[in-house]
Chains A and B, each alone.
Chain A
Amino acid sequence: MAGNVIELNKDNFEEEVLKSELPVLVDFWGPRCVPCMGLMPVVEELAEIYAGKMKFTKLNTAENRRLAIQLKVMSLPTFQFYKNGELVDQLQGNFGREEIEEKIRAIIG
């Protein structure tokens, strides 16, 4: 079963990410970004493993370009990590499951 990954947009970003009680992972992706598509099943798997400890979300940058640029994401794949409404860490470019889990563990403590 795929984990629960919430689809973000400009209307729910504040509620789901900035006001979240749990730390949040935001997966910035785009339909033309092949590495992003490769990471998607990884994120779904991690969402299941870390359910209740971290919230997993994804943002389609093709449909939310302004929001992505506003968040200073202009290159894919990028993952941002938020805690208490603040950006605390980021992964960019060439990263895989290992790097993602490392960040998650560091953030959930």
Chain B
Amino acid sequence: MERYDVIIIGAGPAGLSAALYSARSKLSTLYIEKLSTGGQAATTDEIENYPGFAHGISGPELTAQMEEQAKRFGAKKLLAEVKGIELSGADRIVKTTKGDFIAKVVIIASGAAPKLLGCPGELEFRARGVSYCATCDAAFYEGANVMVVGGGDSAVEEACYLTKFANKVTLVHRRDTLRATKVLQERAFANEKLEILWNTVVEEIIGTDVVEKVRLKNVVTAEVFEREIDGIFIYVGLKPNTEFVKGLVNMDEQGYIITDENMRTNIPGIYAAGDVRQKLLRQVVTAAADGAIAAYHAEKYIEECTG
């Protein structure tokens, strides 16, 4: 079995930042990714609030740079899915689809994935008009009429992005105010192609081969109505990727890992960083900061253990 000082699970901003700090501290470092580099940040078209890029930077570009930086200091990458972590004395055994790996410290930075809306038609029309990634799929909706569900930063940002392609974008939100930051809200209100339906929920996504319409309900008036659409993008929050450590580390009821301010979980030698962690602000900059803190304390932990 291959041995490392630090194994990091996930190659989004938190994982890559942890890999950079860990490798730069001369710890042997492996980071494991299931899909592709960059996590959710890589599916964001334009990141305007990561300090140091005055005019914004695309998500894929930023995360590719992060990866190159971590690799430059010697971090190694493995493409595999992590199935679980086992404890054996001071060893932390990371079980993956490509075999087992031993580490002194594991940093969980597996992030979060989009939550499903949970209405009829959503799964049936997935990839046939239902999408969770505007950056991936916007080009299919050139000149089309699309709907975005949600009221947070992602929903509003992606709704604005989609107006570059679609003829009309309708944002559907179950409350009467948006949760998104002010600058995004102002941009949305000023966008002529963007309409907002307040106090409205999607009851059903309807179509034959592809999505054709949705049935909506106004939660205040109880009015039920239909709208014809070509596509629907769902941004109704996140679900942490923590199935593989269920029962091992402490989590809140939503599945987010509970840590202290040093990113320590309840298990010695296991840390968590980024969106996977219970916290208030989930951003690229806070993920990167978490990664740095986790790697720093991992180094201290290893020093103490090996004395």
Q: Does B266 contact A (CB under 8 A)?
A: no
Q: Which residue of B lies closest to A78 (CB)?
A: B127
Asked if A38 and B35 sit within 8 Å, CB to CB, the answer is yes
Q: Does B43 contact A (CB under 8 A)?
A: yes
Asked if B79 and A61 sit within 8 Å, CB to CB, the answer is no
Q: How far is the CA of A96 from the CA of B127 in the complex (A)?
A: 17
Q: Which residue of B lies closest to A76 (CB)?
A: B136
- Which of chain B's residues 85-105 have a Cβ closer than 8 Å to chain A? 97
**A89 smallest CB distance to B (angstroms):** 13
- Which of chain B's residues 132-156 have a Cβ closer than 8 Å to chain A? 132-133, 135-142
Instruction: Pick the most buried of B45, B128, B132, B210: most chain A CB atoms within 10 A of its CB.
Output: B128
Q: 1/0 per residue A1-44: CB within 8 Å of B? A: 00000000000000000000000000000101111111100100
Contact of A32 among B34, B36, B130, B139 (CB under 8 A): B139
Asked if B140 and A33 sit within 8 Å, CB to CB, the answer is no
Q: How far is the CA of A32 from the CA of B131 in the complex (A)?
A: 15
Q: Does A65 contact B (CB under 8 A)?
A: yes
Q: Does B81 contact A (CB under 8 A)?
A: yes
Report B-chain residues with C-beta under 8 Å of the C-beta of A97.
79, 97
Q: Which residue of B lies closest to A90 (CB)?
A: B127
Q: How far is the CA of A68 from the CA of B136 in the complex (A)?
A: 14
Q: Does B197 contact A (CB under 8 A)?
A: no
Residues of B within 8 A of A (CB): 34-38, 42-43, 45, 59-60, 79, 81, 97, 113, 126-133, 135-142, 209-210, 231
Other than the given A34-B60, A61-B140, 4 more pairs (CB < 8 A) read A36-B136, A72-B128, A77-B136, A96-B79
